[in-house]
Amino acid sequence: MEYTVSVMNRFFAPALLCLLILGCARPSDKPVYLDHSKPLEERVEDALSRMTLEEKVALTHAQSKFSSAGVPRLGIPELWHTDGPHGIRPEVLWDEWDQAGWTNDSCTAFPALVNLAATWDRDLSHLYGECIGAEARYRKKDILLGPGINMGRTPLNGRTFEYMGEDPYLAGELVVPYVQGVQDNGVAACVKHFAVNNQEVRRTATSSNLDDRTLYEIYLPAFRKAVQEGGTWAIMGSYNLYNGQFNCHNKKLLCDILKGEWGFDGVVISDWGGCRDDDEAITNGLDIEMGTWTNGLRGAASDSYANYHLANPYLERLRDGRATEEVLDDKARRILRTVFRTSMSPEQHFGSFTSPEHFAAARKIAADGIVLLKNDGTLPLNPADGARILVVGENAYKMMVVGGGSSNLKTKYEIIPLDALHEAFDDKASVVWERGYVGDVTTDYNKVVTGQDLSESRSAQQLLSDAVAAAKDADYVIYMGGLNKSRNQDNEGTDRLDIVLPYGQDVLIEALAEVSDKLVVVNISGSPVAMPWASKVNAIVQAWYGGSESGHALVDVLTGAVNPSGKLPFTMPLALADGPLKTERQYPGIQEEGKQWWQEYYDEGVFIGYRWYDTQNIPVQYPFGHGLSYTTFDLSNASVKPSGKGWTVSATLENTGDVPGAEVVQLYIADTEASVPRPVKELKGFEKIYLQPGEKRQVKFNIGLEDLSFFDAASHAWVAEPGEFKALLGTSSADIRAEIPFNYGK
């Protein structure tokens, strides 16, 4: 009965809303028709001129969990939002988070965005956006709530798996094609979470306090590229506060920077429940308020939409003069612009859903982002006929698409690694699985159910003993563990407690290493983990949450069907204590007398990730940008030459091995004479190049003054100081193959 009523609400609520609007719209005797042949801005002004005050306000807030109102009288449809950024969320009930029970909303699950970041491949990022945009359009969604590009300030952040790593240049280069691919389908990408949203613990009650240099150099560049180069049509505000003001209505972030300095002409949407104040919501740059009172902060009736900050309270202020229609018109213009760019675009898009091409794209992206961290020749797998392959670990069997928060998906299918190994080897070898440990036995999330049985009757000691006993007779042992999407792991709403592997996995891996000389460790996670056993195992593979085709993609790499080419998008530290966040005031924040919210201070400034480790000369397990191949590459003939107003950095890359493969050539810039503290190197370019054995190719990077600059807060400008710089070419932040000095202004 609940489902029937909710579905009726979904279809009839807009009609009821239309009747209510008609009651105050005072329409003319003749129907009103908009001229859709006009240019975009003329269409916007035409529609705006015909709208009543009430109709404009209705645009600015939710009417259901995932939709905001249109103007039925003028034929302007509502806007439908959907969670991404890894796939199209299953349908939910009109006023509830529960699944609606549809049978045709099982999507293609694409790899987690950290997996995409690990490809270091702009073309694959565009493919990702193009495919997920097509799925959104097919499902009649107008706004895709993604991608996420917040920086990896701490490896404990529960949503690291949803973001694109620790470096603003890498994230910025990859977000642009993703956004363009999505919007090629007439779907608005909603880049999130703006801004300095770098933890899940107390995410709705913590102020991120930092100076302008840190803000502009680390936490804004990827967003700026999304706006100015990607042309994103939507931005989502974040839950936290920045310098004491909530980000969903933060004047400096939304009005001064986003809409002012960057000239953003799209729509700003609140995170669900992120709007907290009537007056600030009106004046400080928010355009659409979503999810208020539905994020667990406080209870409210399911029909509370009229009480949103931008609903009746807004109308009251407009009517008594406390709010101006000029500000309202700016919001309405941005919303209308979004509608006319998406569902009412002159170029109609129809999309496609769960196509073979989409699953193939998901498989390729997942495989190309898998990182080979270590290999003594054990990989690729080449077992003899009749060999015994032992697979140990819960993550070989557990489905990983379900869970994790708003990125939770109902996928058409998910290939688990164990099944993919059987598929690859059953004709010539035996594949046996031992669980080894019990991690997360959850098989459902928000009523999306995997159908797996993860119950276990054996004790932890018995599981370990059984796995070690089986390993003694195995020709290969493939350990598949890591993290999952449960609480305090890779999960929205909670942060991790440490980077140590949970469930006693370190002890298990050490025990397996004592009895096997062919031990391959596959770590499946969305964030860094400590690997104290790294020197004792034969090979280490960093896999991710790979979506529908995760098992196939992983086995493609293990068998050599795909030569690994992924690179770490973050640093893999030896221990959490080695990182830049040393005090509670840095993370997770402190309470201060006289202040309502928790206060967090970014005292480390611009020194996060490899900027911290490399500058402080702190050893790490695996550096930013690291990743091996089944072939070898040589980088030679490096040079820097003046070119126009900048310089051209070039080198020759050669595949010196026996198999085809891809290498990522990375360009870092070092400022050797800076007047302010700067990292010893910063990523300013990269190219992923595929070569046949023996093939050579020249790689070129064009750099300008912006690549030499730091942000000077006093002058509010980017400054390049005359002096000596170095162009550093390599294959990771630690593996620098060439250092070429050059001068600017001397």
198-217 per-position pLDDT tens digit: 999 999 999 999 999 999 99
Name the residue among 209, 197, 126, 107 with its Cα closest to residue 158. Answer: 197
Could you give the percent of the chain with pLDDT greater than 70? 94
Residue 21 has pLDDT above 50, yes or no: no
Q: Is the pLDDT of residue 248 over 70?
A: yes
Q: What is the mean pLDDT of residues 720-730?
A: 97
3-state SS, one letter per residue, for 384-437: CCCEEEEEECHHHCCCCCCCCCCCCCCECCCCCHHHHHHHHHCCCEEEEEECCC
- Measured between alpha carbons, how far is 334 from 287 in angstroms, rounded to an integer? 7
pLDDT digits (tens, 9 = 90+) for 297-348: 455 555 588 889 999 999 999 999 999 999 999 999 999 999 999 999 999 9
Please report which confidence band the pLDDT of residue 562 belongs to, taking 50, 70 and 90 as the band edges. Answer: very high
**Cα 35 to the chain's mean position, in Å?**
38
Is 271 among the residues known to form the active site? yes
- C-alpha 188/C-alpha 186 separation (Å) is 7
CA atoms of 200 and 86, how far apart (whole Å):
19
pLDDT band at 8 (very low <50, low <70, confident <90, very high): very low
Q: Please work out, in degrees rounded to the nearest 5, the angle formed at the alpha carbon of residue 701 by the alpha carbons of 697 and 704.
A: 165
Q: Which residues pair with 702 in a beta bridge?
A: 648
Residue 232: pLDDT above 50?
yes
Q: Catalytic pick from 271, 278, 490, 495? A: 271
Which residue in 427, 618, 390, 336 sits closest to 516, CA to CA?
390
What pLDDT, on a 0 to 100 scale, did the predictor assign at position 32?
Answer: 66
What are the distances in angstroms from CA 670 to CA 271, 678, 708, 728?
Answer: 38, 9, 8, 7
- The letter for the amino acid at 403 is G
So what's the pLDDT on residue 16? Answer: 41
228 CB-contact burial (10 Å; exposed 0-12 / middle 13-18 / buried 19+): middle
Given a cut of 50, whether residue 19 has pLDDT beyond it is: no
More confident residue, 87 or 96: 87
pLDDT for 303 = 54
Please, which pLDDT band fits residue 36 given cuts at 50, 70 and 90? confident
> All domains of the chain, ordered by start, with CATH?
2-96+105-341 (3.20.20.300), 370-562 (3.40.50.1700), 630-744 (2.60.40.10)
Instruction: Tell me the C-alpha distance between 298 and 470, whole Å.
Output: 52
According to the model, what pLDDT value does residue 15 have? 42
Per-residue confidence band for 31, with pLDDT thresholds at 50, 70 and 90: low
pLDDT, average across residues 162-177 = 98
pLDDT at 63: 94
Average pLDDT over all residues of the chain: 94
Placement of tokens 């350990």 in the chain: 479
- Predicted pLDDT at 298: 53
| Low-confidence winner among 23-37, 61-75, 297-311 (lowest mean pLDDT) | 23-37
Q: How far apart are CA 215 and CA 532, in angstroms?
A: 34
Reference 526, options 152, 83, 90; nearest CA is 152
DSSP letter assigned to residue 606? T
Q: Which residues of 490-508 are buried (b: 16+ CB within 10 A; e: fewer)?
A: bbbbbbbeebebbbbbbeb
Confidence of residue 446 (pLDDT cuts 50, 70, 90): confident
Task: Please say if the pLDDT value at position 26 is more than 70.
Answer: no
| pLDDT given at position 30 | 53
